[in-house]
Amino acid sequence: MGAINNFLPEGARDIISEDCYKKEELRKSLEENLENWGYEQIITPTLEYYDTFNSHPEAFKQEEMYKFFDNKGKILVLRPDMTIPMARVVSTKLKDYKRPIRVRYTSNVYRVNEVFGGKPNEITHCGAELIGRETLEGDLEIIYLSINLLKSLGLKEFKIELGHMGVITGIFEELNLDDEVKEKISFLIEKKRLGELQGLLNKLNIPDEIKNFLEKLPWLFGNIEVLDSISELEIYEKIKEPILYLKALAEAIKKLKLQEYVSLDLGIIPKINYYTGVIIRGYVQGVGSYVLQGGRYDKLINSFGIDNGAIGFAINIDSLIEVYKSSKKEKITKILYSKKDFIEALVKGNELTSKGYKVNLIEKKDDDAEIESDENTILI
């Protein structure tokens, strides 16, 4: 019999020891905060029908999902996302609930990433969804909540970046391009690959003012002044509505005295294409990618037969483990015992744990060097 394979699949990983405690603390803190703001928990199954994620215009690509068959031959998937299951639940079990609906979740999602891309394929998301508040106030609530949550974790060096899908969709409405080309342009803008973007645009038969704007788009980030600079461009009338909306949102954030945590980036174009309005990204110093993502997805919720707007966000708990500093310093009581006294040690351990203490049983060998003891050590 050959050696057992002890390697993990690409994109999988083990979480051990202190990181497990950190992850649990992060989850508890986020969930408690969301509950305090009136967001009620929903738990959905890990397994969903493939059609749930593939039968909408804003579907995931099939190669991005883990797929298999049930015993009746129907295609199942490991959920790649939680927003779509939330929309499904709202359209069924919560369809008669009074609006607005505030729901939250903590769940693992599964996505097939590029081989050797370094991204995990299993991610724990803690998120919130606000259904039925199609106003600036609804967007502001979610943005405020995202800032509040990151602050509650003791994270100080972070930024929430805001964009708007109306900018790129407003431009694309003016162009007769197929979806594959639009997707490529969006990808290059999002990744800020300027040379490739310019080369692609030079091959396309598009108006100069649109081409010039698309080349500028990756550079349009910063504070509210970046919005003022756009009003001078020829293209402004085609994207006026989302620009004015972002300006109103930025002014509201300023009134909340939270502008230090927020910046604008008009070049944010998420790979997940169900967003229709404001887009939210959260970055924390020391983490290489965004730790929070979300936005408004009115068309997606409408595709489930719900005549409501919706906005939400998800926090990648796993990405925060490395930068999160635990505030809890729990003491562990050591119970030192000889082998003949093991039963007594167990009884003593039970007595202490029933009172809320944490214990660690340590057998003391006859040939052991003197074990250091302190006020948290009990010798049996």
DSSP states along 171-222: HHTTS---HHHHHHHHHHHHTT-HHHHHHHHHHS---HHHHHHHHHGGG-EE
Please give the order of strands across the beta sheet that includes 47-49: 47-49, 75-78, 67-69
Predicted pLDDT of residue 59: 64
Segment 360-375 shows an average pLDDT of 74
- C-alpha to C-alpha distances, 82 to 250, 299, 314, nearest whole angstrom: 28, 16, 9
The structure tokens listed for 374 are 């302190």
- Categorize the per-residue pLDDT at 373 as very low, low, confident or very high, splitting at 50, 70 and 90: low
Give residue 265's pLDDT band: very low, low, confident or very high (50, 70, 90): very high
- According to DSSP, the residues that pair with 40 across neighbouring strands are 103
- Quick one: 17-157+285-320 is in which CATH superfamily? Bira Bifunctional Protein; Domain 2 (3.30.930.10)
Section 78-88 average pLDDT: 95
Average pLDDT score over residue span 179-208: 95
- Judge whether residue 369 has pLDDT over 70: no
Is residue 63 over pLDDT 60? yes
CB contact at 8 A, 162 and 143: yes
pLDDT of residue 90: 95
Give the model's confidence band at 372: pLDDT under 50 very low, under 70 low, under 90 confident, else very high.
Answer: low
What pTM, to 2 d.p., does this model score?
Answer: 0.91
**Inter-residue contact 83 to 306 (CB < 8 Å):** no
Residue-averaged pLDDT of the chain: 92
Residue where the block lists tokens 């039970």 = 350
Which amino acids are annotated as binding site for L-histidine, given as ranges? 81-83, 111, 129, 274-275
Domain limits of the chain? Answer: 17-157+285-320, 334-379
With 0-12 / 13-18 / 19 or more C-beta atoms within 10 angstroms meaning exposed / middle / buried, residue 205 is: exposed
* Contacts of 26 by beta carbon, 8 Å cutoff, 6+ apart: 126, 153, 317, 320, 321, 324
CA distances 12 to 7, 8, 15, 69, 138, Å, are: 10, 6, 10, 22, 36
pLDDT at 340 over 80: yes
Separation between Cα atoms, residue 284 and residue 218, nearest integer Å? 21
Is 80 exceeded by the pLDDT of residue 357?
yes
Note the residue count of the chain.
380
Model pLDDT, residue 83: 94
What pLDDT does 57 receive?
58
Report the pLDDT value the prediction gives residue 113, as an integer from 0 to 100. 81
Annotated binding site: 81-83, 111, 129, 274-275
Tokens describing residue 14: 């083990």
Q: Would you say residue 117 has pLDDT above 70? A: no
How is residue 111 written in tokens?
């996505």
> What pLDDT sits at residue 298?
93
Rg (CA), the chain: 26
**C-alpha distances in Å from residue 154, one per residue of 30, 257, 279:** 12, 18, 24
Cα 227 to Cα 242: distance, rounded to the nearest angstrom: 10
